[in-house]
Amino acid sequence: MTWRNTSPPSKSGPKLPKPEVTQPEPKADSLPRRRVGLGLGANLGDPAANLRRAVALLREAGLDIEAVSSLYRTKPWGVTDQPDFVNACALARTALEPLALLDLVQATERAMGRRPTRRWGPRPIDIDLLFIEDAPWRDRRLTLPHEGLMQRAFVLLPLAEIAPDLVVGGARVADAAEAIDRSGIVRIGAF
């Protein structure tokens, strides 16, 4: 998996109280800081505010957020009898190992009030790991790259803004975004 990102770094988010999630210390300063992709979605409460808060909490917890896409309003996929979502994607760097990063995003979801619900059901925040540079993964808890990454317009369109040249499974993200059915996906503005 390779890519070249030319997007400028995102502006820093609003000042927020210290989060309840902390990022474990890397074992050594020399650990590689790999680039990771995050997919964010919400359809309860104030979804756009929830996405901004999630990114701010991840940044406070030590994740180096390098780029954030626009916000998109998207028709629910999978389970359709629920409110529209707001979706966005982010690129970050971290020395965390994949499962430690999953722990961090799941702790962030819980800190924001996410409770177990039906699969694909409504939620105040969902943070998916889309990929970790040079770290494919498949076990009970985590699959990388994310299985739905190249099939879902609500992921591909925001990701194509910030990582157009990323190649997953032989396909370039910008090309996949160009080819996918984008009905029900509306860009609503800057993050």
Contacts with ligand A4P by CB under 6 A lie at: 41, 74-78, 85, 87, 119-120, 126, 128-129, 141-144, 146, 148, 154
| Closest CB to Mg ion among residues 128, 161 | 128
Distance CA 78, CA 155 (A): 14
CB of 68 to ligand A4P, least distance (A): 16
Q: Is 123 a known active-site residue?
A: yes
Q: Which of 35, 53, 73, 126 is catalytic?
A: 126
CB of 26 to ligand A4P, least distance (A): 21
Q: Which of 59, 73, 128, 152 is catalytic?
A: 128
CB contact at 8 A, 25 and 54: no
**Burial of 11 from C-beta contacts in 10 A (0-12 / 13-18 / 19+):** exposed
| Closest CB to Mg ion among residues 7, 143 | 143
161 part of the interface to Mg ion, by CB under 5 A: no
- The residue count for binding Mg ion (CB under 5 A) is 2
Report the partner that residue 9 touches, choosing among ligand A4P, Mg ion, none (CB closer than 5 to 8 A by kind).
none
**Residue 77 structure tokens:** 């996929």
CB contact at 8 A, 39 and 153: no
Site for Mg ion in 74-133 (CB under 5 A): 126, 128
Distance CA 178, CA 47 (A): 26
Q: Is 126 a known active-site residue?
A: yes
Distance CA 168, CA 173 (A): 7
| Closest CB to ligand A4P among residues 45, 148 | 148
| Closest CB to Mg ion among residues 53, 114 | 114
**Residue 40 structure tokens:** 């964010």
How many other C-beta atoms can be found within 10 angstroms of the C-beta atom of residue 134?
Answer: 10
Q: Is 81 a known active-site residue?
A: no
Which are the contacts of 179, defined by CB distance < 8 A and separation ≥ 6?
Answer: none
Q: Which of 114, 134, 152, 165 is catalytic?
A: 114
Give the residue numbers marked as catalytic.
114, 123, 126, 128
